[in-house]
């Protein structure tokens, strides 16, 4: 407790004891962290309200499968606000742990949707996620019992969460990159910008969160080391180090909320897992079908007759015909391909759509039907090319 004499000395301009100088530095850092957290909550509030407004303006046919993602976005907003309230009033991070676990769960589900045909690949990130939950549970129990916990628990938690984000992001991006690369080799005459999509997935899948997590984990280990051997760092360096740690810690929890929120925001607008080389972001996002949800069925797609009747002839900036893998139709097709599609009465609606749907959406469907449809599409294109040459 600060005595009346110490307050008088501080008001008179005399130097305060070192412990109060350190407390003042921490208070400034906490004030700055609280301001950044409030700004992040405002960004989340805008995302959720804008997504809800977009959803309400969308026709009923385009709303299917979006309600769960809107609810998840608002749930994440509530958890973030409660976590910040607990941190500000009681200086505890229990609510922030819930935000991190929730965001990692969204990313794990996304990884599961992408690798639905090879679930064994998702086992490792799932085990890391379960380990993170175990560490958080142990830390919360220790805090409830003794109001203190070993510093290594927090460092282990952040390190596990960061490792999970790196692994899940690499798995998602590599799958999408490999799928588009395979299709570009099979259909070289079409323009497939899979590199851009893979980078976009990386950015929206918590690269900032991973960087802040690794930095905070390293700083936590340094804090444990220095606290065991006092005097390793000068006093002013140590104060600045602690203040920086508070800021980095706040950034980590901010990105832990914003990264999954950004994914949910794109899903709500219908722009997640999309590849539109020629359409801009203003091209009727409200009416676009959703491809993120694993529960989405083929009833949300357009029927085959309307697909075949779409306007043909779109090309990219280099004059190449475009293959729209998402909407389920071909652009700039020769007349023979269109006639051949009309004659394909033996192929079911499911197989016809699977032949031209994007790899991320196809991953949630049957792998056998996906391969058969792709081979059928490549064989037809090759046969028609030979017929035209002869």
How many Å separate Cα 275 from the centre of its chain? 17
Q: Looking at residue 55, what is its pLDDT?
A: 82
Contact of 372 with 355, CB cutoff 8 Å: no
Q: Looking at residue 30, what is its pLDDT?
A: 74
Q: Could you read off the pLDDT of 35-80 as tens digits, one per residue?
A: 888 888 888 899 889 888 888 887 877 777 778 888 888 888 888 8
Domain coordinates in residue numbering, the chain: 19-272, 349-389
Question: Residue 290, SS3?
Answer: coil
pTM of the model: 0.56
Q: Looking at residue 361, what is its pLDDT?
A: 44
Number of helical (H) and strand (E) elements in the chain, helices listed first? 14, 2
Q: Looking at residue 233, what is its pLDDT?
A: 60
Q: Looking at residue 1, what is its pLDDT?
A: 41
Q: Looking at residue 380, what is its pLDDT?
A: 74
> Treating both helix axes as pointing N-terminal to C-terminal, what angle do 151-186 and 94-114 enclose, rounded to 10 degrees?
20
**Residue ranges for the chain with pLDDT beneath 50:** 1-12, 273-317, 319-339, 341-365
Q: Looking at residue 130, what is its pLDDT?
A: 92
Long-range contacts of 96-99 (CB under 8 A, 24+ apart): 96/253, 96/256, 97/136, 97/139, 97/140, 97/157, 99/253, 99/256, 99/257
Please tell me the class of the 19-272 domain: mainly alpha
Q: Looking at residue 8, what is its pLDDT?
A: 45
Q: Looking at residue 127, what is its pLDDT?
A: 93
What span, in angstroms and rounded, lies between the C-alpha atoms of 275 and 356?
13
Contact of 199 with 170, CB cutoff 8 Å: no
């Amino acid at each position: 407790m600060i005595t009346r004499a110490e307050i008088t000395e501080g008001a008179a301009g005399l130097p305060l004891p070192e412990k109060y100088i350190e407390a003042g530095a921490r208070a400034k850092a906490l004030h700055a962290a609280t301001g950044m957290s409030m700004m992040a909550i405002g960004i989340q509030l805008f995302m959720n309200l804008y997504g809800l407004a977009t959803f309400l303006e969308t026709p009923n046919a385009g709303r299917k499968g979006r309600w769960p993602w809107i609810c998840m976005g608002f749930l994440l907003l509530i958890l973030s606000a409660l976590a910040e309230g607990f941190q500000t009033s009681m200086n505890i991070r229990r609510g922030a742990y819930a935000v991190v676990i929730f965001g990692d769960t969204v990313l794990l589900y996304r990884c599961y949707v992408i690798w639905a045909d090879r679930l064994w690949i998702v086992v490792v990130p799932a085990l890391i996620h379960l380990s993170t939950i175990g560490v958080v549970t142990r830390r919360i129990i220790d805090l409830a019992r003794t109001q203190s916990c070993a510093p290594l628990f927090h460092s282990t938690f952040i390190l596990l969460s960061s490792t999970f984000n790196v692994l899940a992001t690499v798995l998602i991006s590599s799958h999408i990159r490999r799928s588009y690369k395979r299709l570009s080799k099979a259909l070289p005459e079409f323009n497939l910008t899979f590199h851009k999509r893979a980078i976009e997935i990386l950015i929206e899948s918590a690269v900032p969160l991973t960087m802040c997590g690794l930095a905070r984990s390293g700083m936590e280990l340094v804090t444990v080391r220095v606290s065991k051997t006092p005097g390793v760092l000068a006093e002013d360096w140590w104060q600045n180090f602690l203040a920086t740690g508070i800021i980095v810690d706040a950034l980590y929890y901010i990105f832990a909320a914003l990264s999954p929120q950004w994914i949910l925001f794109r899903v709500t607008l219908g722009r997640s897992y999309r590849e539109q080389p020629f359409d801009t972001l203003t091209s009727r996002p409200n009416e676009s079908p959703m491809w993120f949800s694993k529960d989405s069925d083929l009833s949300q797609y357009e029927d085959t007759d309307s697909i075949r009747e779409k306007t043909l002839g779109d090309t990219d900036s280099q004059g190449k015909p475009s293959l729209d893998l998402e909407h389920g139709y071909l652009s700039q097709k020769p007349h023979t391909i269109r006639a051949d599609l009309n004659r394909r009465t033996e192929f079911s609606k499911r197989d016809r759509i699977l032949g031209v749907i994007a790899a991320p959406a196809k991953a949630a469907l049957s792998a056998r039907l996906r391969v058969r449809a792709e081979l059928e599409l490549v064989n037809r294109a090759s046969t028609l090319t030979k017929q035209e040459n002869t």
